[in-house]
Amino acid sequence: MEIETARLQLRRFSLNDFDYLFRLYSDAEIMRYLSPRTREQTQASLSKHIQQWQQHNFGMWAVIHKETGTMIGRCGLDFLENTPEVELGYVFDKSYWNTGLATEASLATLKFGFGEVKLDRIVAVAHPENIASVRVIQKVGMKYQKNASYYGHDVVYYAILHTEWQADNSLYILQS
């Protein structure tokens, strides 16, 4: 199953994506607010991304820039740490920051979560200092709920309900 937006293709991860994912996850600047990962941690993350889809029919997408065919990041849905809540998450290569691609991928992910998975609510968390990430969360319509602590960090916690979601029907093409 894949999603296609104007500039992106979102597809499930495969084991062949390890090298790119490791390059992304080991970059200290990209992972500044998340913590860089070792090869072993990246392998565990990749396995989790693949298993998530098998177990729950949602998960993280590998984000491919259509024009170049290059993987530029990941975006998708996962369970918020130690909760049953479903969280929007994303990480993008720094050369694609401030281009609107994180927002484009996040909007497609929310549409998938509400339209295909039939979720009632999706949340997102970010470090308060990560202004770019907070801006993406706000642009996709999520509303601030509280300050919280997840993944060992103080974060701002946002949420959106399915009933609040304003779907754009031109947002993506779903392909099986």
Identify the structural domains of the chain with CATH numbers, from first to last: 2-175 (3.40.630.30)
Question: Residue written as tokens 């991304």?
Answer: 49
Query: Which residue from 170, 116, 175, 104 is spatially nearest to 140, judged by alpha carbons?
Result: 104
Which pLDDT score is estimated for 65? 96
Per-residue pLDDT of the chain (176 residues; tens, 9 = 90+): 789 999 999 999 999 999 998 988 888 787 888 877 888 998 998 899 999 999 999 999 999 999 999 999 999 999 998 999 999 999 999 888 889 999 999 999 999 999 999 999 999 999 999 999 999 999 999 999 999 999 888 999 999 999 998 766 655 666 55
Which pLDDT score is estimated for 83? 93
Question: Alpha carbon 77 to chain centroid distance?
Answer: 6
- Quickly count: other Cβ atoms within 10 Å of residue 158's Cβ: 22
The token duo for 29 is: 């600047």
Exposed, middle or buried: residue 115 (CB in 10 Å: 0-12, 13-18, 19+)? middle
Which pLDDT score is estimated for 166? 76
The token duo for 137 is: 């969360």
Is residue 17 helix, strand or coil? helix
The token duo for 163 is: 């009933």
110-115: long-range contacts, CB 8 A cutoff, minimum separation 24 = 110/140, 110/141, 110/160, 110/165, 111/165, 111/167, 111/168, 111/171, 111/172, 112/3, 112/58, 112/77, 112/172, 112/174, 113/58, 113/77, 113/86, 113/88, 114/162, 114/165, 114/167, 115/167
Which pLDDT score is estimated for 168? 64
Angstrom distance (rounded) from CA 169 to CA 24? 31
Query: Which residue from 93, 99, 109 is spatially nearest to 22, judged by alpha carbons?
Result: 93
8 A C-beta contact, residue 91 and residue 73? yes
